[in-house]
Amino acid sequence: MDTLGQLDELLKVSGIDVILLDNFSVDQMRRAVARRDGQGLTGKIELEASGGVNLDKVRAIAETGVDRIAVGAITHSAPGLDMGMDIEAGI
């Protein structure tokens, strides 16, 4: 989901546990939390921030009140390690 309008529609759907806020600005995240909370859905629907999140932004994002933060930079920016395993069969 990538707009506040889409969020408004999802907040009407029964049975949703988590909504992913994809590439939202910090201000949009803050507004998303306010919309969810304003409908009495705090603790019923969690909001997860994702997309464009890096470790430098985590504090500001956490301060918006979102419940989860996905930091893809931890995995897709990790350096690779080339390993090999040679096994010799002893006959």
Of the pLDDT bands very low, low, confident and very high (cuts 50, 70, 90), residue 89 is: confident
Of the pLDDT bands very low, low, confident and very high (cuts 50, 70, 90), residue 87 is: confident
Check: pTM over 0.85? Answer yes or no.
no
- How many domains does the chain contain in total? 1
- CATH value at residue 52: 3.20.20.70
Give the domain range for residue 63.
4-76
Q: What percent of the chain has a predicted confidence (pLDDT) above 70?
A: 91
68 within some domain = yes
Q: Which long-range contacts (CB under 8 A, 24 or more apart) does 2-11 make?
A: 4/28, 4/31, 4/32, 4/35, 7/32, 7/35, 7/36, 8/35, 11/35, 11/36, 11/39, 11/41, 11/45
Averaged confidence pLDDT in the chain: 90
